[in-house]
Amino acid sequence: MKIINKDDCLQSLNNIKMYGGINIPLSAFDTFDRLIEEHFSPQSLKFEELHENMWVYDVKNKCCIYIEEFTVDNQMMIIRYPMSNRDSNCEWCNFEENRYYPIQIPIIKEQ
């Protein structure tokens, strides 16, 4: 399933406004259905979706982590724990299903 971006939402909203509630294309509602599902039921990331220099939420440790290095061969990565109480805030770890989730950070433009 395609991740919905701001332009998709704005285009769907404009379609609804343009048609004034009459004969609104079903695709406009599909976009909002997907957006609601994406927002309220986040899906864990697959290994293929992870990459270096990426922030993710780690449900196992209940914190946000930074993926610093990544090995595709054995599905391992170096992760960094910011502001950690650990001796070292970096460690190698294995990929685990249903452990890592996307972090949605809005892009705020300066006015």
* Mean pLDDT across 62-86: 74
Q: Model confidence over 38-51: pLDDT tens digits?
A: 777 788 999 888 88
Domain ranges of the chain: 6-40, 47-102
pLDDT in tens, 7-62: 887 888 887 877 776 777 777 778 777 877 777 778 899 988 888 888 888 888 88
CA distances to 38, 44, 53, 95, 111 from 76, in Å:
27, 17, 14, 6, 41
Q: Using the 8-state DSSP alphabet, how is residue 107 labeled?
A: -
Whether 87 shows a pLDDT value over 80: the answer reads: no
For 77, the token pair is 């990565």
The reported pLDDT for the residue numbered 98 is 92
Banded pLDDT at 109 (limits 50, 70, 90): low
> What would be the CATH architecture of the domain defined by 47-102?
Roll (2.30)
pTM here?
0.58
Find the mean pLDDT for residues 85-104.
77
Give the whole-angstrom CA distance, residue 43 versus residue 40. 10
Euclidean distance between CA atoms 50 and 53, whole angstroms: 9
- Give residue 38's pLDDT: 75
Q: What is the average pLDDT across 71-89? A: 67
